[in-house]
């Protein structure tokens, strides 16, 4: 590293940091981007294995109904026509997701929307749940026991690591039921995967920034902070403040990547395993994201895990305790005059990719306007 004084030190080379660096660079600002990992891109990073772009931190499918955001990402890459149509495997039985007429036919052999609606209504009314007290009751009151027991209960309990009766009802505010034969998981107008993987986008966004990888910000905090006028921080907010109020909680993930010497393992990019006996929640076959025809394939088993320090934090646990704890950290963050906090870890909020980009654009544009 040199002694250059930067306008911004960006901690984290994920989507938020990359968008900020790109926009700041266009405005003539100098950015230094540091990341503790050995690569840029954060959780959207792809590793090329046998010509297949492997989503190293789980499936990332870009989708949005915001044309401005869609146009924005398309300046960096060509997006293919991939449509997310996952399958659910319950003890060897296959069901289409999201819940739609194909699912209802597979469950009950009903062929019309009216028959499917009647089946669900009959099951829900028998339960007579007026005020759901937990996630289980909430889900049952929306879809009835058949869908819940085969496609929701065990999968959800694996994800969260606790019984559905101990999870708050608000986690499932609604369960989309589609009474059409449409397996498209997302309702958004625009959807696809960047050809060549997400690295294509990140590399272009960071092209004009200086990048230092394998750098632990907290190990070199003082020296790094002195090198820039302002800090853009995308890491865990409680860690930034040395956990002074206590640690926020997360769920983590563990991935097992396997190379297979066959051209096609499961015939679909994403298959969820919704029974409790299977320890992982899904298998991802990466070549199907880009319609690959390679003679080999790479599959990833995704295991939910408890989070502890040193593991990657993926999903914030937004219950009352953690929400109140985050509010305390947010108040501290608002007093930091030369630090911009952004992203899912710094804001303790789960964001989809299009939301992260929109949020980063809003913050960087406000910052650049204020710095004129």
Whether 114 is covered by a domain: the verdict is: yes
User: In this structure, are 233 and 356 located in the same domain?
Assistant: yes
Give yes or no: 37 in active site: no
Helix 113-127 × helix 135-143 angle, to 10°: 140
For the residues of 103-128, what is the DSSP string, one character each?
HHHHHH---SHHHHHHHHHHHHHHH-
Whether 263 is covered by a domain: the verdict is: no
> Out of 23, 282, 285, 314, which one is annotated catalytic?
282
User: In this structure, are 350 and 238 located in the same domain?
Assistant: yes
Longest C-alpha distance within the chain, in Å? 71
Whether 48 is covered by a domain: the verdict is: yes
The answer to whether the beta carbons of residues 94 and 87 sit under 8 Å apart is yes
Give yes or no: 221 in active site: no
User: In this structure, are 104 and 136 located in the same domain?
Assistant: yes
What string of pLDDT tens digits covers the 372 residues of the chain? 456 799 999 999 999 999 999 999 999 999 999 999 999 999 999 999 999 999 999 999 999 999 999 999 999 999 999 999 999 999 999 999 999 999 999 999 999 999 999 999 999 999 999 999 999 999 999 999 999 999 999 999 999 999 999 998 888 887 889 999 999 999 999 999 999 999 999 999 999 999 999 999 999 999 999 999 999 999 999 999 999 999 999 999 999 999 999 999 999 999 999 999 999 999 999 999 999 999 999 999 999 999 988 889 999 998 889 999 999 999 999 999 999 999 999 999 999 999 999 999 999 999 999 877
Using alpha carbons only, give the angle 154, 155, 160 rounded to the nearest 5 degrees. Answer: 95
User: In this structure, are 144 and 26 located in the same domain?
Assistant: no
Q: What Cα–Cα distance (Å) separates residue 154 from each residue in 10, 20, 148, 332?
A: 40, 39, 9, 39
Cβ atoms < 10 Å from Cβ of 256: 11
For the residues of 237-266, what is the DSSP string, one character each?
HHHHTTTTT-PPPEEEEEEEEEEESSS-SS
Of 171, 205, 233, the residue that ends a domain is 171
Q: Measured between alpha carbons, how far is 41 from 76 in angstroms, rounded to an integer?
A: 14
Of 119, 136, 171, the residue that ends a domain is 171
Give yes or no: 350 in active site: yes
Of 171, 201, 219, the residue that ends a domain is 171
The answer to whether the beta carbons of residues 16 and 343 sit under 8 Å apart is yes
Whether 256 is covered by a domain: the verdict is: no
User: In this structure, are 237 and 321 located in the same domain?
Assistant: yes
- CATH number of the structural domain spanning residue 342: 3.40.50.720
Q: Measured between alpha carbons, how far is 102 from 113 in angstroms, rounded to an integer?
A: 11
User: In this structure, are 68 and 115 located in the same domain?
Assistant: no
Predicted pLDDT of residue 1: 46
**HEC secondary structure over 35-104:** ECCCCCCHHHCEEEECCEEEECCCCCCEEECCHHHHHHHHCCCCECCCCCCCEEEECCEEEECCCCHHHH
Q: Which two tokens stand for residue 182?
A: 């449409």
Predicted pLDDT of residue 309: 85
The answer to whether the beta carbons of residues 97 and 272 sit under 8 Å apart is yes
> Out of 137, 154, 302, 367, which one is annotated catalytic?
302
Tally of domains within the chain: 2
User: In this structure, are 201 and 135 located in the same domain?
Assistant: no
User: In this structure, are 222 and 324 located in the same domain?
Assistant: yes
Using alpha carbons only, give the angle 89, 95, 98 rounded to the nearest 5 degrees. Answer: 110
Domain extent at residue 104: 98-171
User: In this structure, are 19 and 69 located in the same domain?
Assistant: yes
Whether 308 is covered by a domain: the verdict is: no
User: In this structure, are 157 and 111 located in the same domain?
Assistant: yes
**pLDDT tens digits for range 82-107:** 999 999 999 999 999 999 999 999 99
128: left (phi over 0), alpha (psi -120 to 50) or beta: left
User: In this structure, are 11 and 117 located in the same domain?
Assistant: no
> Out of 72, 227, 245, 251, which one is annotated catalytic?
251
Q: Measured between alpha carbons, how far is 172 from 183 in angstroms, rounded to an integer?
A: 20
Predicted pLDDT of residue 3: 66
Q: Which two tokens stand for residue 176?
A: 């989309």
Whether 292 is covered by a domain: the verdict is: no
Q: What Cα–Cα distance (Å) separates residue 341 from each residue in 9, 12, 234, 352?
A: 12, 11, 6, 17
pTM of the model: 0.94
> Out of 131, 174, 277, 320, which one is annotated catalytic?
174
Whether 326 is covered by a domain: the verdict is: yes
User: In this structure, are 65 and 28 located in the same domain?
Assistant: yes
Q: How many residues comprise the chain?
A: 372
**pLDDT tens digits for range 326-336:** 999 999 999 99
Q: Measured between alpha carbons, how far is 97 from 300 in angstroms, rounded to an integer?
A: 19
> Out of 6, 23, 45, 178, which one is annotated catalytic?
178
Whether 90 is covered by a domain: the verdict is: no
The answer to whether the beta carbons of residues 133 and 163 sit under 8 Å apart is no
């Amino acid at each position: 590293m040199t002694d250059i004084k930067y306008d911004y030190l960006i901690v984290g080379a994920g989507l938020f940091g990359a968008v900020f660096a790109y926009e700041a660079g266009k405005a003539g600002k100098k950015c230094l981007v540091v990341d503790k990992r050995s690569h840029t891109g954060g959780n959207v990073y792809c590793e090329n294995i046998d010509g297949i772009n492997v989503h190293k931190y789980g499936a990332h499918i870009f989708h949005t109904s915001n044309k401005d955001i869609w146009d924005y990402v398309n300046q960096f890459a060509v997006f293919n026509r991939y449509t997310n149509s996952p399958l659910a495997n319950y003890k060897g039985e296959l069901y289409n997701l999201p819940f739609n007429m194909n699912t209802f036919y597979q469950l009950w052999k009903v062929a019309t929307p009216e028959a499917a609606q009647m089946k669900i209504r009959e099951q829900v009314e028998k339960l007579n749940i007026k005020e759901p007290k937990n996630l289980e009751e909430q889900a049952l009151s929306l879809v009835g026991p058949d869908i819940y027991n085969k496609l929701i209960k065990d999968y959800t309990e694996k994800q969260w690591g606790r019984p559905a009766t101990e999870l708050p009802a608000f986690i499932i505010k609604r369960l989309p039921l589609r009474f059409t034969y449409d397996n498209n998981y997302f309702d958004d107008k625009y959807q696809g995967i960047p050809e060549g993987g997400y690295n294509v986008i990140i590399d272009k966004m960071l092209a004009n920034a200086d990048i230092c990888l394998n750098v632990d910000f907290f190990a070199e905090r003082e020296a790094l902070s002195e090198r820039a006028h302002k800090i853009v921080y995308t890491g865990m907010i409680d860690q930034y403040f040395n956990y002074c109020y206590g640690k926020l909680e997360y769920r983590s993930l563990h991935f097992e990547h396997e190379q297979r010497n066959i051209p096609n393992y499961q015939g679909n990019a994403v298959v969820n395993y919704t029974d409790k006996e299977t320890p992982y929640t899904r298998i991802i076959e990466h070549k199907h994201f880009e319609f690959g025809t390679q003679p080999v394939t790479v599959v990833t088993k995704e295991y939910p895990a408890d989070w502890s320090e040193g593991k990657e934090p993926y999903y914030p646990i937004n219950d009352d305790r953690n929400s109140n704890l985050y509010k305390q950290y947010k108040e501290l963050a608002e007093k930091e005059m030369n630090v911009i906090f952004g992203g899912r870890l710094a804001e303790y909020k789960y964001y989809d990719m299009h939301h992260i980009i929109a949020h980063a654009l809003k913050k960087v544009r406000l910052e650049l306007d204020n710095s004129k």
